Chain A
């Protein structure tokens, strides 16, 4: 609600007498530098998350001679996804469905426990914006200085500063795109190719697009992304409850707010005065430009910087810290009625989310453990369904595809059961003597299989089972189809 209040405020600027404005004008935000616990936490998470993003492609993972040694690799050309010890094939994308469900549930759980943790600390938009703001502050100075410079004339020095800032921004943005493409090819090789301008054109195109989006979103769009483009604040508002920890202005303690002088005077007179001295430090440090004292709102990404700002003021004026703090609506009401604050982390909501996370995680783990290294698929020839041979026997033809997910070549002997007197012949078998087929490391192999019988089943069609027998005699995979006869 307060975000709409902010938008309303923007909209009213330049409103003419007769008409409502149709568009809200841009409203530049100059967040002030702040130090404190939450700022340090944000810096640490920034280093960790960006470190993972930029360096992970260089992590190695040995998988044997026939497989790539990159720990995390999306090999689009060969349709493989490698993640440390996991290797996924295109037909196993359901693991990604599981991952997405898991990610959504974890997001919901984080929200139920401590509100928009994702937005404030982990979201790429937040992390890169933080980094870009740090660059801006380093070159152009803090809030007041930047406001002053922006309203001043465009001197040569100013042009230089701006050029430097945008150059560094573009460089970071370029590295962001550069790191992205490293996930799709062997990273060290691609780095050399990029440096010698011999990388595939699509790599440069991807880097270009991501350079542009990073530069635009982190350098220029910033809070606009959260306010207008991101769906999560809308969904989050529907998922939160009064028990979730949120960055909260404790109005029960802060109000009535007065200037420091007036509040001291009032207290001296024995009258009530809140701890908030209306210094607006919480507002000036806010990266999205909201006033936390308006309550939880769409514009607030709950990064906690206003907590740091307010704590520093409270320390200076000798009042207890955490006038703004992670707190719940329940506690504000409880304090108002003289009750002890409580925080119930175990609630039906959190229990449900944890249970769902455990369930989905267990299903995925089971699927991963039970993942078969071999499989086979059979397609019956559609036309003709059966062939009558010269000697009167009936033959059906099938396309059989073997899948070998092991990192070395495997031999499979094909067996068929269910049709009396059935003889099989494999077109292009590796060893025709025993109808064996070799399937290369981490590959599939398609063969045409002819099944004939002199004693065709009396019914029109009969089920038959193909089995791939591995060299140690075990049934590695099997598949069902039908044998058709006139």
Chain B
């Protein structure tokens, strides 16, 4: 090829001998690039796509401005779209939701189609409202009850659960809330440290946990009978009217080690739960009550 001085000056003169196609004039070590042009319609399709993009810019929110973006003449907004979608969904679910609203709690659990609807909706409500304290699966943590377990502070029947959700616990804004509070036996000097220690050992013995060597069981029993039994019962089995836990089970809200029990007796009190009435609609409360009840621990 080097014997052809014309090739770079006049590229279109060169026709590839093998394919019969013109070359672009680009050459690398004797290898030339074939010029295989695209059809014109391809070009027009490309221009049409650009025109379409301009249409988008005009019709939809597109260009970023200092605050926000151009609105677009269609007035489309992603938030409106979501609102519309939610409204559509509610319309779609309307008849089933109405059934849920109309049915009693017990009926919901007896009818499979209502139960699965309530559990699905309840799971969503739970994740949005309850999971921050009770955990994603209702597993709870120290001070926040495990809702899968079968020991309940304020009652584990479906109606009890619904009532607790509706009015909360120790939630002052709601006059119907569960209100009782455990006294701060240590902090308010109602009991002496030795009495508290003996009581803690006694409480551990109630559920069969080992006690400290040399612990004064009789003293603990007496202190318990005088101070704790009004709420927790003589036998320590608790009282759900006061939210006083059953101390004879293997389920512990604040821990079963003696230190935790001593701490509880010292400071007393109890967990707080908001009242959900007014924040959740009655159907949502029903659904989440059914969901919690069917986690496994429901009575």
- Chain A residues within an 8 Å CB radius of B115: 427-428
- Do residues A384 and B40 form an inter-chain contact, with CB atoms below 8 A? no
Give the residue name and chain of the B residue nearest to A294 (CB). Answer: B20
Q: In the complex, what distance in Å separates the CA atom of A224 from the CA atom of B41?
A: 9
Smallest CB-CB separation from B298: which chain A residue?
A: A427
Known: A22-B37, A23-B39, A228-B39. A392 touches B116 (CB 8 A): no
Within the complex, the shortest CB–CB distance from A455 to chain B, in Å, comes to 14
> A224 — which chain B residues lie within 8 A by C-beta?
39, 41
Some 28 contacts from A to B, beta carbons below 8 A apart, are: A1-B20, A4-B20, A5-B21, A7-B37, A8-B20, A8-B22, A11-B22, A11-B35, A12-B22, A15-B12, A19-B12, A23-B37, A23-B38, A24-B39, A24-B40, A228-B42, A383-B136, A384-B139, A388-B250, A389-B250, A397-B148, A397-B295, A425-B296, A427-B294, A427-B296, A428-B294, A430-B112, A450-B296
Please, which residues of chain B bring their CB within 8 A of the CB of A11? 22, 35, 37
Across-interface contacts of B295 in A (CB, < 8 A):
397
Give the number of residue pairs across the A-B interface with Cβ within 8 Å: 116
**B interface: dominant SS:** loop
Chain A residues with CB under 8 Å of B34's CB are 4
- Whole-angstrom distance from the CB of A171 to the nearest CB of chain B? 24
Give the Cβ gap from A90 to chain B, nearest Cβ, in Å: 19
Is A256 part of the binding interface, using a Cβ–Cβ cutoff of 8 Å?
no
The verdict on B149 contacting chain A, using a C-beta distance below 8 Å, is yes
Compute how far the CA of A1 lies from the CA of B137 in the bound complex, rounded to whole angstroms. Answer: 66
Whether B148 lies near A387 (C-beta < 8 A) is: yes
Interface assignment of A370: CB less than 8 Å from any CB of chain B: no
Top 8 nearest A-B pairs by Cβ distance?
A383-B137, A384-B139, A390-B249, A392-B250, A387-B148, A24-B37, A428-B115, A8-B21
The one of B35, B42, B296 that contacts A397, using a Cβ cutoff of 8 Å: B296
Q: Which residue of B lies closest to A384 (CB)?
A: B139
* 1/0 contact string of A3-44 vs chain B (CB within 8 Å): 011011001100100011111111000000000000000000
Is the Cβ of B22 less than 8 Å from the Cβ of A23?
no
A349 at the interface (CB under 8 A from B): no
Q: Residues 214-248 of chain A: 1 if any B CB is under 8 Å from the residue's CB, otherwise 0?
A: 00000001001001100000000000000000000
Q: Which of B11, B20, B109, B136 has the most CB of A within 10 A?
A: B20
Taking the closest CB of chain B, its distance from the CB of A291, in whole angstroms, is 12
Which B-chain residue is minimally distant from A392 (CB atoms)? Answer: B250
Name the residue of chain A whose CB is nearest to the CB of B24.
Answer: A20
Q: How far is the CA of A430 from the CA of B38 in the complex (A)?
A: 66
Please tell me if A481 contacts chain B, counting CB pairs below 8 Å: no
CA distance A381 to B38 in the complex (A): 58
Report the minimal beta-carbon distance from B255 to chain A, rounded to whole angstroms: 13
A397, B11: Cα distance in complex, Å: 77
Q: Is the CB of A25 within 8 A of B40?
A: yes
Query: Is there a chain B Cβ closer than 8 Å to A413's Cβ?
Result: no
The complex places the Cα of A389 from the Cα of B150 at a distance, in Å, of 6
Determine whether the beta carbon of B38 is less than 8 Å from that of A391.
Answer: no
Q: How far is the CA of A397 from the CA of B119 in the complex (A)?
A: 15
The minimal Cβ–Cβ distance linking A378 to chain B, given in whole angstroms, is: 16
B43 interfacial by beta-carbon distance below 8 Å: yes
Known: A11-B22, A23-B39. A390 touches B296 (CB 8 A): no
A446–B117 Cα gap in the complex (Å)? 12
Contact of B137 among A19, A21, A381 (CB under 8 A): A381
Of A15, A22, A427, the most chain B CB neighbours within 10 A belong to A427
Question: How many Å lie between the Cα of A437 and that of B129 in the bound state?
Answer: 31
CB pair B42 A23 closer than 8 Å? yes
B71 at the interface (CB under 8 A from A): no
Contact A26 B250 (CB under 8 A): no
- Closest chain B CB from A89 CB (angstroms): 20
The answer to whether A4 and B19 have CB atoms under 8 Å apart is yes
B251 touching A20, Cβ below 8 Å: no
- A450 to B, closest residue via Cβ: B296
A165 within 8 A of B: no
A116 within 8 A of B: no
Taking A4-B19, A23-B42, A228-B42 as known contacts, 6 extra A-B pairs with beta carbons closer than 8 A to each other, sorted by chain A number, are A24-B38, A26-B40, A383-B136, A389-B297, A391-B250, A392-B250
- Flag if A383 contacts B139 (CB, 8 Å): yes
Q: Does B146 contact A (CB under 8 A)?
A: yes
CA of A221 to CA of B135 in the docked complex: distance in angstroms? 61
Complex Cα distance, B14 from A20, in Å, reads 11
Query: Among the listed A12, A26, A390, which residue makes an inter-chain contact with B39, where contact means beta carbons less than 8 Å apart?
Result: A26
Chain B residues near A24: list those with CB within 8 A: 37-40
> B178 an interface residue at 8 Å Cβ cutoff?
no
CA distance in complex: A322, B56 (Å): 57
Please report which residues of chain B, range 1-57, place their CB below 8 angstroms from some CB of chain A when the two chains form the complex: 11-12, 18-22, 24-25, 34-43
Q: Is A395 at the interface (CB under 8 A from chain B)?
A: yes
Closest residue of A by beta carbon distance from B136: A383
